[in-house]
Amino acid sequence: MYLNTVRNIAIIAHVDHGKTTLVDGLLRQGNVFRANQDLGERILDSNDLERERGITIVSKNTSVFYRDTFINIVDTPGHADFGGEVERVMSMVDGVLLLVDAVDGPMPQTRFVTAKALAMGHKVILVVNKIDRPDARPDWVVDQTFDLLVELGANDAQLDFPIVYTCAKAGTATLDLSQPGRDLQPLFETILAHIPAPQGDPTAPFQMLVSNLTYDDYRGRLAVGKIFAGTVHPNDNIAIISRDGQLRPGKVVSVFVFEGLKKVPRAQAQAGEIVILSGLEDVAIGETVTSRDTPQPIPPIQVEEPTLRMSFGVNTSPLAGREGQHVTSRKLRERLFRELETNVSLRVEETESPDVFLVSGRGELHLAILIETMRREGFEFQVSQPEVIFHQDADGQQLEPYEQVQIEVAETYRGIVIEQMGRRRGELQNMWQESGNAHFIYLVPTRGLLGLRNELLTATRGTAVINSLFAGYYPYAGDISRASRGSLLATEMGTATHFGLSNAEERGILFIEPGTEVYPGMIVGKHQRDSDLEVNVCKTKHLTNIRSSTSEIAVRLTPPAILSLDQALEYIGPDELVEVTPKSVRMRKRILDSNLRRRLEKAPIGAKS
């Protein structure tokens, strides 16, 4: 295969702008599937979490043939928390499709991914999607995108971008809005005309950068990456150069390429192609696979550092071990360190306690996805409230991570946003009104965002739209006062009853329903006051001569506000934990004994541990 018959592209966009749907259309019209083959929607969103949340979490490779050209396509995540996925695949491609909603225009997370593509010199094709929406404004979107590229420092060649208007759901594209599209042929033609063929000398010594890892039940670990130079064959003896320059031998067993959704074996692959190599059991992302005779390293992938961390520990609650399959610290440690092999943005540190590990990530969603994945694999553990990671500059000044937050809300709630962000040390960057909604852009410490989403959605009756993007490290902003709140705490071990919950309901909002197992120190609700309150939710009504056997059923409870994992992580405070099992998400105090908690609260600050 010659270089001029290969194109390597990535599709980048904000969450929910139709990126994965467009890939579906390219695959269908690239004759990857039979005409009568029904694979549903969002074919590349292959795991359950991606389908449930409607987002792309892990970058994925696929390809199509068009007019004798082999087009490798990488579907990338749109959420900034998974920026590590974007950073490591940009080295595999030579251009990007920047997909933007025809109404919303470029959003905060579009900025993050686009900046990475421009920094690597990639050419951009602007794809304005969802032009069938009645409120579409494609001309405004094009102007906004041009302004964004200028702001991000795009060069003249990158600013001279072609524009394709698409309706990904219908599988149509056009270069002229006055002429409706019939299929995606205009997009295919634009890719061939404007995305350059990959560079590389097939006769030079072999060089490949490992950008991704996958696993096969029969072949073991598979290394995915782009060949920068040379040619590779099955059974080639190669060398692996680690990120710190160490050299070790290896042998390629098989060579595959992506054809549609399949991995197809090849007798050889050469410079410019994206390939999968088997047989390299100890290879890691960012390492170079190269010729053993003349080993040449490729600069490793640079990934931005994590901004949040939280502790993962063995479950120590009275209900521990009942629902999980993997409950020991050894299993927890193995799983967390195995995650480091593919999750390049993650960091795991051991602590003084063998049962607790510090896990650092790019944001709350990044860590929540890991927790949810592990609980679905049968793990049972407990996690702490997320906390930011501070840095120090050369002068010893403390720095903390900041994020740029864009909030859209109905005008009637404008005052609530201003009040909330002011309390969280947010600095207003811009504000405007449009179509009855108020739009805000704030620069705010990451600390100020912890718990913000829940509070803002509650205060605005679920109408606020919040997007955030890591902006960098800036001087410490000072203390941030979170809205004080108290919790309702169970006082005894047992099962919650209608009668017990009806009494507790008068004191706040319940998080559990009758029949839920509870233990002392477990959080069962939110107190209407700022202090914690202990309640006996297991209490039963005393028997009387005239009490009927069905009198308990007459108690009517308000439906509880059962929190999801993400909501529980936002709710808990520094002295609380979330207990995660395959079947349950419970919140609890770190110290379950109420007497010990009270003694520590009264103790001098220096005496508290």
Whether residue 497 is annotated as binding a ligand: the answer is no
pLDDT at 48: 57
- Residue 416 has phi, psi (to 5 degrees) of -65, -45
- Same domain for 214 and 188: no
CA distance 286 to 243: 6
Q: How many residues does the chain have?
A: 609
CA distances from 368 to 394, 525, 580, 581, 586 (A): 33, 22, 11, 14, 15
Whether residue 21 is annotated as binding a ligand: the answer is yes
Whether residue 19 is annotated as binding a ligand: the answer is yes
Boundaries of domain holding 510: 486-607
pLDDT at 407: 87
User: Residue 482's Cα: distance from chain center in Å?
Assistant: 25
- Same domain for 179 and 223: no
CA distances from 68 to 30, 59, 182, 257, 265 (A): 11, 26, 22, 16, 19
- Same domain for 406 and 281: no
CA distance 308 to 386: 6
Q: Does residue 361 sit within a domain?
A: no
Number of H helices, E strands in the chain: 15, 35
- Same domain for 36 and 89: yes
| Torsion sign, CA atoms 62, 66, 68, 71 | negative
Question: Residues 116-131, buried b or exposed e (16+ Cβ, 10 A)?
Answer: bbbeeebbbbbbbbbb
CA distance 294 to 137: 55
Residues 100/17, Cβ–Cβ less than 8 Å: yes
Burial class for 333, CB neighbours closer than 10 Å (0-12, 13-18, 19+) = middle
Residues 503/523, Cβ–Cβ less than 8 Å: no
Q: Does residue 553 sit within a domain?
A: yes
CA distances from 509 to 250, 474, 562, 578 (A): 60, 38, 10, 18
Of 420, 449, 475, the domain-final residue: 475
Whether residue 343 is annotated as binding a ligand: the answer is no
Could you tell me the CATH number of the domain that includes residue 430?
3.30.70.240
- Same domain for 21 and 157: yes
Which of 60, 20, 61, 65 is CA-nearest to residue 43?
20
Mark the ranges of the chain whose per-residue pLDDT is less than 70.
1-3, 15, 31-59, 78-87, 108-109, 482-484, 542-555, 603-609
Whether residue 135 is annotated as binding a ligand: the answer is no
Residue 497 has which token pair? 């009853």
pLDDT at 43: 43
pLDDT at 30: 72
Q: Which helix (H) or strand (E) holds 339?
A: helix 329-339
Could you tell me the CATH number of the domain that includes residue 16?
3.40.50.300
Whether residue 132 is annotated as binding a ligand: the answer is yes
- Same domain for 216 and 170: no
- Same domain for 247 and 173: no
pLDDT at 1: 45
- Residue 76 has phi, psi (to 5 degrees) of -110, 155
Of 270, 291, 312, the domain-final residue: 291
- Same domain for 224 and 187: no
Could you tell me the CATH number of the domain that includes residue 212?
2.40.30.10
- Same domain for 151 and 71: yes
Q: Does residue 49 sit within a domain?
A: yes
- Number of domains the chain is built from: 4
Spatial neighbors of 553 by CB under 8 A, at least 6 apart, are 498
- Same domain for 235 and 130: no
- Same domain for 268 and 140: no
- Residue 106 has phi, psi (to 5 degrees) of -65, 130
Residues 269/211, Cβ–Cβ less than 8 Å: no
CA distance 266 to 203: 18
pLDDT at 87: 67
Spatial neighbors of 233 by CB under 8 A, at least 6 apart, are 252, 255, 267, 268
Q: Which residue has the tokens 């479950």?
A: 315
- Same domain for 13 and 154: yes
Whether residue 123 is annotated as binding a ligand: the answer is no
